[in-house]
Amino acid sequence: TATEPEMTYKVAISFDRCKITSVTCGCGNKDIFYCAHVVALSLYRIRKPDQVKLRLPISETLFQMNRDQLQKFVQYLITAHHTEVLPTAQKLADEILSSNSEINQVHGAPDPTAGASIDDENCWHLDEEQVREQVKLFLSQGGYYGSGKQLNSMFAKVREMLRMRDSNGARMLTLITEQFMADPRLSLWRQQGTGITEKCRQLWDELGALWVCVVLNPHCKLEEKSCWLRQLRKWGEMDVCPLEDGNYGNELPNITNALTQSSGHSQ
Ligand SMILES: [Zn+2]
């Protein structure tokens, strides 16, 4: 809008075999979905591919330079960004000049402009830390204050990814499941012998239903299936993992519980 000051952000997008594999944006927006600037740049690149100049990876360009040119290049680079870059430049200089530093144990250096090699895994960028943080936050709110709704919208996202055969679907579901398993209330409920709360049970049901979709997916490879099976077994063997009916099996059946469960199962 007109009241907002105009801001310029630096956006970087890496892609590999038609998939966006990583994104960074100076706006600092933290979300599991791409910010508007990343989306805008992606659309620009798709609609006007000739406007984006194709360059050699920077490591190739550096290789063409001699000693003096490299010196000039680095000094100009540091001068152009000296407040941002100088601490890193000095740290790197110290490390390179110390013979037993870690940086001197490996040959070569990373090049973010080079793209991936053919046998590198390539998958769509997903901010794993952000998924973990959000699920943890929503679970800590116990499904209240709209957090249940938020979790359901994350489930819907997974469902959508599975429908598009996006491999991030199972990846995101794994991250969500890990956070569900790490929910501190699980061990509490187990100690107290109470079943998990109704709100929580519904979420666990949805989680289970999505895993069924993943494992029954006719397009997934056998090795992927055996990998998920191992993971699911591992979770299933953990003490805190609730049983299918949401209880821990060590309490007397409670009539109201049994009723809500049977109504839940008939959906
Ligand atoms: Zn942004």
d(CA 53, CA 57): 12
Ligand 1 centre distance from Cα of residue 42 (Å) = 12
Residues 6+ apart with CB under 8 A from 34: 23, 42, 125
Ligand 1 center–CA 90 separation, angstroms: 29
Instruction: Report the share of the chain in percent with pLDDT over 70.
Output: 87
Contact 103, 95 (CB under 8 A): yes
Helix then strand count (H, E) for the chain reads 11, 2
Evaluate whether 19 touches 11 at the Cβ level (below 8 Å). Answer: no
Distance 190 CA to ligand 1 centre (A): 43
Could you tell me the distance, in angstroms and rounded to a whole number, from the CA of residue 44 to the centre of ligand 1? 15
**What is the model's pLDDT at position 155?**
92
**Ligand 1 centre distance from Cα of residue 179 (Å):** 27
State the distance from the centre of ligand 1 to the C-alpha of 41, rounded, in angstroms: 10
Mean pLDDT of the chain: 82
Q: How confident is the model at residue 149 (pLDDT cuts 50, 70, 90)?
A: confident
Ligand 1: distance of its center to the CA of 32 in Å?
12
Q: Locate the domains of the chain by residue range.
A: 11-51, 58-104, 128-265
* Residue located via tokens 């490390």: 95
Which of the two residues, 22 and 144, has the higher pLDDT score?
Answer: 22
pLDDT at residue 267 above 50?
no
Residues in the chain, total:
267
On the question of pLDDT at 119 being above 70, the answer is no
CA of 237 to the centre of ligand 1 (A): 41
Least confident of 65-74, 91-100, 142-151: 142-151
ipTM: 0.98
For residues 39-57, average pLDDT = 89
pLDDT of 77 reads 94
Q: pLDDT band at 251, cuts 50/70/90?
A: very low
